[in-house]
Amino acid sequence: MFGWEFPPHILGGLGTASFGLTRGMSMQPDMDITFVIPKPWGDEDQSFLRIIGANTVPVVWREVDWDFVNNRIGSFLHPDTYYHFRNGIKYNFNRIGTNDLGCINFSGRYPDNLLEEIGNYEAVASVLAHSLDFDIIHSHDWLTYPAGIFAKRISGKPMVIHVHATDYDRSRGNVNPDVYRIEKEGMDAADHIITVSNLTRNTVIEKYHQDPAKVTTVHNAVEPLDFVDELHKSERKDKVITFLGRITMQKGPEYFVEVAARVLASTDGVRFVMAGSGDMMDKMVRLAAKKGIADKFHFTGFLKGRNVYEMLAESDVYMMPSVSEPFGISPLEAMQCGTPSIISKQSGCAEILDHAIKTDYWDIDAMADYIHAIVKYPAMYKSLRENGLAEIDKIRWEYAGQKVRAIYDKVLGLK
């Protein structure tokens, strides 16, 4: 598998989904997963898969001794494996800037030179394709499609790509031609395409002109929380309504602020929280001030790990007004914490959730009315909470992993 992020160091839903899916797949007795990311940090959970950092794979030959390699990267990669990978260098990548080990320094993020990093990742994929024994290639999202394509050409092994989002979702239709080209080339080269929702599947078929028979939806899920019993709400008078995610155009944060202003104009004892970071954060701060609700509206910044669940558990209502959401794991996480959720109909998770309230992302009046009802009528809150908990208990990554395995078997001609 080629990915771009992996918990606990994540910047969005891609890392969360990658972790959940691989852990769910690992429950199958004969599944051996090697997961490649640009830059691991050393604290990733490798109990159910093997992680390789692209920044520890040499792409240019360097004469270095064992102790030097061990001192430099031994905590991430065994020196013997480094030498094994070095023997897999078959192409001249001297044009790429490398360090004293012949490895590429990756940021582990989404830098301004992202397209350059994607190309460099492709070089690493060629070395791994010559060095590793594997049956199938699985590339997560557009950043890793070129790497998957190169590995497929070298190995002759089939490639499955996983579409967690398309640029149509991220840009509200203002598509970046470079990103579209990479997405389209990945889809054309893939032996099968997995999408996280039927919403995304339709986009892949209609906008990227893919054969419907080649595209299968496998909905995302959630990991069972082993500390869920430790989560609780603080003793307080005010009800808390929360938005949690990237504060970007795709997520519809301005609708959350508009709803907050509408609710606060008619409902007392309510506070709003916007948790996350993104390119629209400053704009949202100014909008909240303009609406005169800054004293009831709080910005927490980016949350990760257990802090996410603590924030969701503290909330009385979770709201996701996404304009175009391929799936949207956060409502599932909120419901897992017993928090009623309001989600946009324009989200993939709306396809599988029966006990979340669904509205159009632009319907500010409907969302405001539902918030008022949930915070003022305990019976409604209780019903959404209990039914949501029961529903989420059945949406597990293990089942998603079984569906992915069936796709592998089909692609490999095993069924």
207 pLDDT exceeds 90? yes
User: Are 187 and 303 part of one and the same domain?
Assistant: no
User: Are 45 and 185 part of one and the same domain?
Assistant: yes
Once rounded to an integer, what is the mean pLDDT over residues 313-317?
A: 96
Once rounded to an integer, what is the mean pLDDT over residues 391-402?
A: 95
User: Are 201 and 309 part of one and the same domain?
Assistant: no
For 270-283, how does the pLDDT look when each residue is reduced to its tens digit (9 = 90+)? Answer: 999 999 999 999 99
Task: Determine the pLDDT at residue 235.
Answer: 87
247 close to 280: Cβ distance less than 8 angstroms = yes
Measured CA to CA, the distance from residue 277 to residue 266 in angstroms comes to 29
For 124-144, how does the pLDDT look when each residue is reduced to its tens digit (9 = 90+)? Answer: 999 999 999 999 999 999 999
User: Are 283 and 179 part of one and the same domain?
Assistant: no
The number of distinct structural domains making up the chain is: 2
For 214-253, how does the pLDDT look when each residue is reduced to its tens digit (9 = 90+)? Answer: 999 999 999 888 888 888 888 889 999 999 999 999 899 9
Task: Determine the pLDDT at residue 216.
Answer: 98
User: Are 252 and 347 part of one and the same domain?
Assistant: yes
324 pLDDT exceeds 90? no
Domain membership of residue 1 (yes or no) is: no
User: Are 215 and 289 part of one and the same domain?
Assistant: no
353 close to 376: Cβ distance less than 8 angstroms = no
Q: Would the pTM of this model clear 0.75, i.e. be above it?
A: yes
390 pLDDT exceeds 80? yes
| CATH for 368 | 3.40.50.2000
Please provide the average confidence, as pLDDT, over all residues in the chain. 95
Domain membership of residue 6 (yes or no) is: no
User: Are 121 and 189 part of one and the same domain?
Assistant: yes
Once rounded to an integer, what is the mean pLDDT over residues 35-40?
A: 97
In the numeric block, the tokens 């028979």 are attached to 213
CB under 8 A, 24+ apart: contacts of 349-352:
349/197, 349/219, 349/220, 349/325, 351/197, 351/198, 351/199, 351/219, 352/219, 352/395
286 pLDDT exceeds 80? yes
361 pLDDT exceeds 90? yes
62 pLDDT exceeds 80? yes
**Domain enclosing residue 79, as ranges:** 13-221+401-410
Domain membership of residue 183 (yes or no) is: yes
Domain membership of residue 3 (yes or no) is: no
User: Are 148 and 243 part of one and the same domain?
Assistant: no
Task: Determine the pLDDT at residue 372.
Answer: 95
Percent of the chain with pLDDT strictly greater than 90: 90
User: Are 112 and 163 part of one and the same domain?
Assistant: yes
Domain membership of residue 302 (yes or no) is: yes
Task: Determine the pLDDT at residue 415.
Answer: 74
User: Are 182 and 261 part of one and the same domain?
Assistant: no
Q: Which among 344, 346, 342 is positioned nearest to 263, based on CA atoms?
A: 342
12 pLDDT exceeds 80? no
Domain membership of residue 203 (yes or no) is: yes
Q: Which among 180, 144, 143 is positioned nearest to 159, based on CA atoms?
A: 144
Q: Which among 317, 310, 296, 324 is positioned nearest to 367, based on CA atoms?
A: 317
For 161-181, how does the pLDDT look when each residue is reduced to its tens digit (9 = 90+)? Answer: 999 999 998 887 789 999 999
User: Are 210 and 340 part of one and the same domain?
Assistant: no
User: Are 273 and 348 part of one and the same domain?
Assistant: yes
Domain membership of residue 8 (yes or no) is: no
Task: Determine the pLDDT at residue 171.
Answer: 81
Domain membership of residue 289 (yes or no) is: yes
